[in-house]
Amino acid sequence: MYKLTDHVDIEIIAGQQLSAIPRMLIYDVEIVLTTANSIKEMDHEILTTYGSDKGWLFTENNDTFRFDTSDHLLTSIYFDYSEQEKEPDHKLDLIMNAKKIVGIPKLVQPSSFDLEPFEYRYCVPSSNILLGYGDIFLKSQNQCTELQITENISLLFNENHLYCAWLMKHPEQFLVNKIAPIEKYPVTPLLKKSFWDVFQFINQEKISLMEEEDIPTFHELLSLYKNIHSTSENNNGMKTLAEKLFNVADNFYSQEQMKFFH
C-alpha cells in the first residue's frame, strides 16, 4: 500500500496514465495537470471530484490532488512549486536509481484531505528535471519508487511507500501565462538555456535581495531580461520567460529603474 500522507492510502493502477498535458504557470508559481482549459472548467472539476484543494477563496495551503467520485482514480493535480532552491543533500541518486512504475493512484478511502506543498525545489539542468521535495525525501535512505503519471510528470515515494517528492521532466516545453488550450512552440537549445537561467535566478535568496532593492541583483535581472527579450527567437516560451522577468522587476524596483526595461 502506498500513501499520499500518513493517513491517506492509495493503490497504484499500473499501465494507466493521465491524458492531460502539464502546464507551467510561472506567474502563479504553479504546475497544473488537468484537461480543463479555463478557470470555469477548473472550478467545475473541483466541484465534481474529491481529494485535496486550496479551499474556498484559496485559503488552504494545499496542493490539489483530485480523484474521480466513481472509480476513485486520480483525475488532476495542481502543484505549487517552491522558490526556495536547495540541493537535496546528495539524494539525486535515489531518483536516478528509482524503481519505475507507469500508472496512476487510486484513493482507497474516498475523502477530503490536506496535502501541503513541498518546502524546496531543485533545478537539475543536466538531467532536464525540476524537482519538488520535502524533508521526508531528505530522510529517505533506500530505493524510491517513481510513479510516472504522464510522460513528463512523476510522483516519488520513499522506501516506506510515502509520497515524498515530485519531478517534472523537460519543463521548458510547457510554459504558459494563463489557463487556456495549449499552444505548442519550438523547444530550442536557447530556450532550454534561458529557462534554466531564469529558474536558477528567481529563488528565495534573490527575492530577499530584490525586496531590499539590491542594485547588483537589479543589474543581473536586467541583463538576463535583455538577453531573452532581444533574441531573434520569437515564440511563446521565450515571451513567457521575458514577461516573467519584467513582472518580477516591476514588483520590486522603482518606476525610474523600470525605464531600463523599455
Judge whether 120 and 132 are in contact, CB under 8 Å: yes
The C-alpha R_g of the chain, in whole angstroms, comes to 19
Q: What is the pTM of this model?
A: 0.93
Give the distance from CA 53 to its chain's centroid: 16
Helices (H), 120-179: 135-138
Judge whether 232 and 188 are in contact, CB under 8 Å: no
Which position has the grid cell 513541498? 118
Over its length of 262 residues, how does the chain's per-residue pLDDT go in tens digits?
899 999 999 999 999 999 999 999 998 899 999 999 998 999 999 999 999 988 765 557 889 999 999 999 999 999 999 999 999 988 889 999 999 999 999 999 988 999 999 999 999 998 899 999 999 999 998 889 999 999 999 999 999 999 999 999 999 999 998 888 888 888 999 999 999 999 999 999 999 999 999 999 999 999 999 999 988 788 889 999 999 999 999 999 999 999 999 8
H or E segment and range at residue 14: strand 8-14
Residue 235 is predicted with a pLDDT of 86
Count other C-beta atoms under 10 Å from residue 245's C-beta: 24
Closest CA to 35 of 71, 78, 81, 73: 78
